[in-house]
A = this chain, B = another copy of it.
Amino acid sequence: MAAIDGQAGQDVIDALAGIAPDFATYLFEFPFGDIYSRPGLSLRDREIATIAALAAMGTAQPQLKVHVTAGLNVGLTQAEITEILMQMAVYAGFPAALNGLFAAKEVFAERAAATAQDGA
C-alpha cells in the first residue's frame, strides 16, 4: 500500500484513527491484501481501472486524487491519465470528465511544486 499510495494512504489511516481504526485494517486487508496483490493484472492496469471508475462515479474526488498519485507511482504518465479522464466523457458525460481532469490537474501541480521545492 505504501508503494502505491504513499503519503496519501497514510493520511487516510491517520484520519480514521479518531473514528474507526478498524476500518483502516479493512482498507489494507480487502483492497490491498486481497485484490491488488492478485497476480492476474499489473498494478498499472489496476490503476487505469480505478482512475476510470472513480472519475465516472463522480462521488469520490478525494479518492480520485489519491489514485491519480498512485497511478503516477506505478508507471502511468500524466498524459496517459489525462487520456483516461477525457475518455470518461463518453461513458459518464462531460462533467465527470471535466471534474476528473481538474482533480488530476491539482495533483500534477502539487507534485510539480513539491519537485521544485526538493530541487531548490
Contacts and interface: CB of A to CB of B under 8 A. Distances in A.
A78 to B, nearest CB: 8
Interface of A: 12, 15-16, 18-20, 22-23, 26-27, 29-31, 34-36, 38, 40-41, 45-46, 48-60, 62-63, 79-80, 82-99, 101-102, 104-105, 108
A39 to B, nearest CB: 9
A110 to B, nearest CB: 13
Contact of A30 (B29, B49, B84): B29
18 contacts: A12-B98, A16-B98, A19-B82, A19-B101, A20-B86, A23-B98, A26-B30, A26-B89, A38-B83, A40-B82, A45-B84, A46-B83, A49-B49, A50-B87, A57-B93, A62-B98, A89-B93, A91-B94
Contacts of A101: 16, 19-20, 23
Question: Considering residues A31, A79, A83, which has the most beta carbons from chain B within 10 angstroms of its beta carbon?
Answer: A83
Nearest to A50: B91
| Number of copies of this kind of chain in the complex | 6
Contacts of A62: 95, 98-99
Nearest to A97: B23
